[in-house]
Structure 1
């Protein structure tokens, strides 16, 4: 895999997807400019040590985006999450992404890769609206573009202090039906698909890829994690009332995930593009088990 000679801007470069993509591109010999809010964080310093040029700025300060885009030929667009106590801020999320697309076009960027979220039916009820508006801005921009729609991350098992997801006290609590296969993907594989798109923009132009590497029931996943880590993990499926008590939009996700076909990435076709696409078991074997075992006891 070879990359263009021009720098690639990676936005939100200390977040999960941006960080993984920046490191994947650097490992492949690409020139990377990493957009960070604080250059002194360990994640930013690690990127700098790996060879990235740091660009300080954020989506809510447009002039910093303009500076970061100057002189680059392609960019990874990962707007920061806009979810707070009041739920999804669709306008803020969409405006951030749409503004980035407009500035990229003005800067003469050749190719944008946007990573958003996987699709379900009744999307307006669960937080995808802002991301779909960004996708439309890309389609209308006249630029070469690629849309990546990842499902739930395997790394979400490592989350701590949240009422949904993560493993706390040996329990994985989530909204999804216990007996229905749940698609998931390793963050490193999202980075791999981004790298593939940057290396061959003509091939990937206009594509929208639903991304997953595994489909396994939450109960079977908990059993697999237990077997690999030696730590007993069980799955707790929230009831609709429990989900609604966390927040109305969480309740909506509970309902939408049952009313639709769920996430629907074609894992077989994705593996043809990326033969190293990880399953939950391979993720556990390589990195996941050690990270889960290192979690603080709760």
Structure 2
């Protein structure tokens, strides 16, 4: 029992050079944690920056069972985020669920005290058409002998920089329901909240938390972008029929959002631990506008 109330000190961060992982790693480092950063390429600029900030690099990924087993045996906690898949299918969903559960079993076997798993909003609703996916991993974690918390982040503001949104070409390619407002979040806020959870893991044990900020419809995002960039942007709504041709699972997700929307976020819970989240306009002023202009310059 003593082992379960020890403070968190050594944390393995999966996906440490990605958006969520790096935000979490830097936040933990700034607050006295020993961070072990799992990365396929320790020579990458992102990995080098983590090393300079004080992280210990671990070469490998979640599929490297022996590396993971050895590393987890020394850890107090694990920040688990699975590699992103841009064209999802039943096969990729099943592979992700299997990898997540395999990782949790290793953590359980090696005596890790606490796991923070980053899932996705409405993972439980998606269970109807994605029977083996992130909700499968959530259930395994919360039904296991591990202490753990599930965080379900909203849409990342940083996703707007992805080529698929088309902002580099002066377009806003929108695959989501045009009139449905969804929550947005800056990944640095995910890192901050992750750090808070590790610092207060006993208070968060067993919880599932939807984590996000302001609600915007796609047209409201478009207006905000046009105002900040001081330019007109062409709005392109992707028909759901096209989405079905690209990814049936994503198309069904869009239909689910249009029909049911997301569950309300418990802003009172979030603000009780983290009073201020980054606003969309604040993120655009701080970094978003510059990055979009870089995309536009590269395209010209």
Task: Return the TM-score normalized by structure 2.
Answer: 0.90
Q: Is the contact made by 1:26 and 1:51 (CA closer than 8 Å) also made in structure 2?
A: yes
Q: Is the 8 A contact 1:149 1:209 kept in 2?
A: yes
**Which deviates more, 277-286 or 123-132?**
123-132
- Cα separation, partners in 2 of 1:102 and 1:257, compared to 1, 3 Å: same
Residue 88 of structure 1 deviates from its aligned partner by 5.1
Paired with 1:126 and 1:243, the residues of 2 have a C-alpha distance of: 15
Query: How much does 1:215 deviate?
Result: 0.2
What corresponds to 2:101 in structure 1?
98
Post-superposition offset of 1:239: 1.8
Q: 1:135 is matched with which residue: 135, 138, 145? A: 138
Q: Quick one: distance in 2 between partners of 1:130 and 1:137?
A: 11
Shift of 1:175: 2.0
How far is 1:116 from its partner? 0.8
Cα distance, 1:67–1:233 mapped onto 2, change above 3 Å: farther
1:168: Cα distance to partner?
Answer: 4.1
- Where in structure 2 are the equivalents of 1:1-298 lying within 5 Å? 4=7, 6-82=9-85, 84=87, 89-119=92-122, 122-124=125-127, 129-160=132-163, 162=164, 165=165, 167-262=167-262, 264-295=264-295, 296-297=298-299
The runs of 5 or more residues in structure 2 that have no matched partner are 1-5
Between 288-297 and 40-49, report the one with greater CA deviation.
Answer: 288-297
TM-score normalised by L of structure 1: 0.90
Deviations 1:163-193 (A, max 9, x none): xx35242211122222221211111111111
Q: CA deviation at 1:291?
A: 1.8
Give the root-mean-square deviation of aligned CA atoms.
2.2
Q: 1:288 to 1:254 in 2, by over 3 A?
A: same
Deviation by residue 1:125-167 (Cα, 9 ceiling, x = unmatched)? 665841111111111222211100012111010001x3xx352
- Which sections of structure 1, spanning at least 5 residues, go unmatched? none
Ranges of 4+ aligned residues in structure 1 off by more than 6 Å: none
1:120, 1:236 → 2: CA distance? 27
Render the CA deviation track for 1:244-297: whole Å, top value 9, x for unaligned.
233322322231121212353233542332112112112112222222222233
Q: Distance in 1 between matches of 2:123 and 2:105?
A: 27
Q: Distance in 2 between matches of 1:132 and 1:17?
A: 19
Go from structure 1 to structure 2 and tell me whether the alpha carbon gap of 1:127 and 1:70 turns closer, same or farther (over 3 Å shift). same
CA distance in 2, matches of 1:171, 1:49: 38
Corresponding pairs, count = 293
More helix by share: 2
Contact between 1:125 and 1:252, CA under 8 Å: does it hold in 2?
no
